[in-house]
C-alpha cells in the first residue's frame, strides 16, 4: 500500500516535508544565495596519468578550467 503522506525534500534547505503543503522552516531570499564553484582535481588518473597537469596551449589543464569557471562569474572558485 502506498504511503498516504509522502515526503518531499525542500530544494532550498533539504528539509523533508509533506507533499500536501509547504513547510515554513526557513525564510530565505533566493537572490542572496552565492554558489561556490568547486573543481575536483586529483592526481590519481590511471588512464591518463597527471591529467590535471596536462599541457594545453602552454598551460596546465586545471588552469584552463579555473579560468573558465572564473569567467562564468557565478561565485568564488576553489580547486
| 8 A C-beta contact, residue 10 and residue 17 | yes
0.75 exceeded by pTM: no
Residue 68 CB neighbour total at 10 angstroms: 12
The H or E element that residue 16 is part of is: strand 16-18
Cell triple for 58:
602552454
Measured in degrees and rounded to the nearest 5, phi and psi for residue 62 equal: -60, -30
**Domain-wise residue ranges, the chain:** 1-29, 34-79
Question: What pLDDT does 20 receive?
Answer: 54
Name residue, grid cell 502506498.
2
pLDDT tens, residue by residue, 26-65: 555 566 677 889 999 988 888 988 899 999 999 999 999 9
Amino acid at each position: 500500500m502506498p504511503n498516504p503522506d509522502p515526503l518531499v525534500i525542500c530544494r532550498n534547505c533539504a528539509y523533508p516535508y509533506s507533499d500536501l503543503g509547504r513547510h515554513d522552516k526557513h525564510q530565505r531570499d533566493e537572490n542572496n544565495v552565492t554558489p561556490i564553484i568547486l573543481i575536483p582535481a586529483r592526481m590519481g588518473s590511471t588512464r591518463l596519468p597527471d591529467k590535471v597537469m596536462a599541457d594545453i596551449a602552454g598551460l596546465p589543464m586545471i588552469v584552463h578550467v579555473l579560468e573558465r569557471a572564473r569567467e562564468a562569474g557565478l561565485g568564488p572558485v576553489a580547486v
